[in-house]
Amino acid sequence: MRLPYCILSVLGDVLDDGGLYFVEAAQSLDAAKARVQALAELWPGEYVIYDEATGERVLIIAASSASAESHGRLETVWSIKEVVGLLPL
């Protein structure tokens, strides 16, 4: 069974010779978001969740809770932006 949501890691500036690299696939958007949150605890950064069926993309900028604590915040930094059609794949 093929999983419809691809989790991609953003390396560098995508618009300036950066790239998107496949991390893993997920069954649902909620499962993909949960997986990115878990990944961010070890590897903070930018991730894209790509819906193969619709072509929609969600950009997630995530930092680990340890990183957030070092900046005086206790919560995990978690920003989700709809970026449909803005990031080349």
Quote the mean pLDDT of the chain.
Answer: 76
Instruction: Return the pLDDT at 16.
Output: 76
Total of domains in the chain: 1
pLDDT at 58 over 70: yes
Q: Is 87 a member of any domain? A: no
40 by DSSP, 3-state: which? Answer: helix
DSSP summary character for residue 76:
P
5-11 and 45-51 strand pairing: antiparallel
Q: Is 65 a member of any domain? A: yes
Q: Which domain holds residue 48?
A: 5-82
Residues forming a β-bridge with 45:
62
Q: Are 35 and 43 in contact (CB under 8 A)?
A: no
Q: Is 88 a member of any domain? A: no
Tokens of 23: 């991390």
- Note the pTM of the prediction, 2 decimals: 0.70
At which residue do the structure tokens 């929609």 appear?
Answer: 56
